[in-house]
Structures are given as structure tokens and as C-alpha cells.
Amino acid sequence: MTWPHPLPQWDYNWVVRQLTGHIYVSCQSVVSAFQTNFIFKRLDAYNNVIHELNFLHAAGDTAVDVIALVPNCPEGQAGFIMPRLQPIVSSQLSVEQKVNVMRQMENLIRTLHQRGIIHCDIKLANFLYDPSDGAVKLCDFGSAVWCNRSRPPYSGSERYYSARRLADQYLTLPMETDDDYYALGWTIWELFTGRIPFSHIENSKEVLQLILNGAKPDLDEIENEEARASIMSYCDIH
């Protein structure tokens, strides 16, 4: 098995003995926690691992580190090891801390685009916080594309999409850097309110229809002027 970048390889059976439980499970991946400060992400296909590792490597210091590879997972799967950083929990942050996190997120997205990458799944859950130095990092590059070889989305978090993106029913519109910025606007709103977009609505079809009808972040809930200005800019609110 050839990996895109030289990294230590950890045995799957040893890794499993170190785990304490799952953090996140989907049809494509399982993210589990170590007893120590590591995370193990296992994906359903070798190509998906290669895809994510390539983008994590190209993203450099904007992204979480990759510590080791785990090539011998069951059923032909593979995975990798990352440091266990902390999720960003809005209720635990002061306004000053939220502003600091927001500025870091904005800088990460700008730098990522300068490196030729569109993340394609920007949301608060995909930013992690390192309590040792206060740094914010991006994770989950499974949907990422290259700016010069973009394509329509095949996965993502539609609550953070623009009406323009959702109107593309036949998936003909390649992803653009503006898609990341629009989602960043909603992410900043989420950071300051503590709620995901349209959290009061469970039915995804209702949410999509609201977006198509022009629903955007409610600025009345955002008191911080810098955050309001960023959301207005990214989500094209006049």
C-alpha cells in the first residue's frame, strides 16, 4: 500500500486496544478517541483516505496534524491518527474569545484558498481548538477540492449553503471559494449564537426551501459589530 506522504504506520489491532469510544460515526467514517490525546479516523475506502491526506498535507498549518497511518483496518479500510483537539463550544467562550476565534477562522479560510484549496464543508464543527496555545485548526477535508480543478459538491452541510448553491438541482455548478465564505458567515453566526442554522427546524426539506426563498442569518441576534460586518459581507446581506 503506497501512501502519499511518509508517515509512521500504527497497527490497527494495537490502536483498537487504546480506544475509549466513538466520537462520530457516519456511513463513510468513524472517529474514535484514544485513552490518551489522540483521535483515530477510519474511512470506508482507501481512496477516501488518500484524498483527505493529500488535502491535509497541502493545507499545512491551517489543518490538524496527521501523526500516523493505520493501513491494516478490516474490510480493506484504512485510517489515520490525529491529535485530540477540542471542539469550539460557544457557551464556554467570552465575547473576546469568540472574536479571537472568528479572526482565526477568517485567516484560515483566506490562507487555505491561497494554497489552492476549497474546503467545501465549512461549519463550526469542522474547526477545532488547541487549548495549549489557543490555535484554531480546520479538520474534515473529505469534501475538499482544488480551486483549479473544482467540481459540483457530492457531500456537504446544506444548512450552510447559499440559495445559489441549492438552486443547482442537477449539480452542474463547480464549488467556488465564495461557497466557503458564505458558509463561514453562517459559522460566525453559529459561534456567536450557539446554534446551528435553522436549529428550530428538523425537516431538511423545509430548511432547504427557506434558504431558496432567501433566508439568511438573523443579524438582530448578533451584538458584536465586527461579527455583524463579517456575516453581512460573507452572506451578502445589505
121 and 225 together in one domain: yes
78 and 107 together in one domain: no
Burial 20-53 (b: 16+ CB within 10 A, else e): eeeeeeeeebbbbbeeeebbbbbbbeeebbbbbb
153 and 117 together in one domain: yes
71 and 186 together in one domain: no
Instruction: Give, in degrees to the nearest 5, the angle at Cα 54 between 48 and 56.
Output: 100
Q: What's the rounded Cα separation, in Å, for the pair 7 and 15?
A: 16
Residue 6's pLDDT is 82
Number of domains in the chain: 2
Domain of residue 59: give its range: 12-83
Residue 138's pLDDT is 98
Q: What CATH number does residue 194 fall under?
A: 1.10.510.10
Dump strand ranges (E) for 26-180.
29-34, 38-43, 68-70, 78-83, 86-87, 117-118, 127-130, 135-138, 145-146
Q: What's the rounded Cα separation, in Å, for the pair 229 and 235?
A: 10
Burial 105-132 (b: 16+ CB within 10 A, else e): bbebbeebbeeebbbbbbbbbbbbbeee
Residue 195's pLDDT is 97
Residue 24's pLDDT is 66
123 and 224 together in one domain: yes
Q: Coil, strand, or helix at residue 123?
A: coil
102 and 207 together in one domain: yes
Q: What is the pLDDT of residues 42-63, one digit of tens each?
A: 998 888 899 999 999 999 999 9
134 and 190 together in one domain: yes
Cα–Cα distance list, 104 to 63, 73, 139, 227 (Å): 12, 35, 14, 13
Residue 3's pLDDT is 64
The grid coordinates of residue 49 equal: 483516505
The tens-digit pLDDT sequence of the chain (238 residues) is 456 678 899 999 999 999 887 776 666 778 888 877 899 999 988 888 999 999 999 999 999 999 999 988 988 889 999 999 999 999 999 999 999 999 999 999 999 999 999 999 999 999 999 988 889 999 999 999 999 988 888 777 999 999 999 998 777 889 999 999 999 999 999 999 999 999 999 999 999 999 999 999 999 999 999 999 999 999 999 8
144 and 189 together in one domain: yes
pTM of the predicted model, to two decimals?
Answer: 0.93
Phi-psi sector, 180: left (phi>0), alpha (psi -120 to 50), beta? alpha
Domain assignment present for 3 = no
Residue 27's pLDDT is 61
